Amino acid sequence: MMIEEVTTKALCLKPIERIHLVETLLDSLNPSDKSIEQKWIEESERRYLAYKQGVLKGISLEQIRARMEL
């Protein structure tokens, strides 16, 4: 199948289907380590729970932008 044909068909997909296609293609180039991925999921859930419990405070977009300008 020619790259143009694949591209044409891919562009006809719904946005979420295109996202899944891109993720699949990228993962085929650089396979993720499932154990590391699981640890990141656990860490993000831990941080979200801490935020919801008031243990961690959020940072405003303005603060993030200010840090980026440094």
22-39 b/e (C-beta count within 10 Å ≥ 16 → b)? eeeeeeeeeeeeeeeeee
Instruction: State how far the Cα of 24 lies from the Cα of 27, in Å rounded to an integer.
Output: 5
52-65 b/e (C-beta count within 10 Å ≥ 16 → b)? eeeeeeeeeeeeee
Dihedral pair phi/psi, residue 4, rounded to 5°: -65, -40
How does pLDDT run across 4-39, given as a tens digit for each residue? 999 999 999 999 999 999 999 998 998 888 899 999
Tokens, residue 50? 């801490």
- Is the predicted pLDDT of residue 60 greater than 80, yes or no? yes
pTM value?
Answer: 0.52
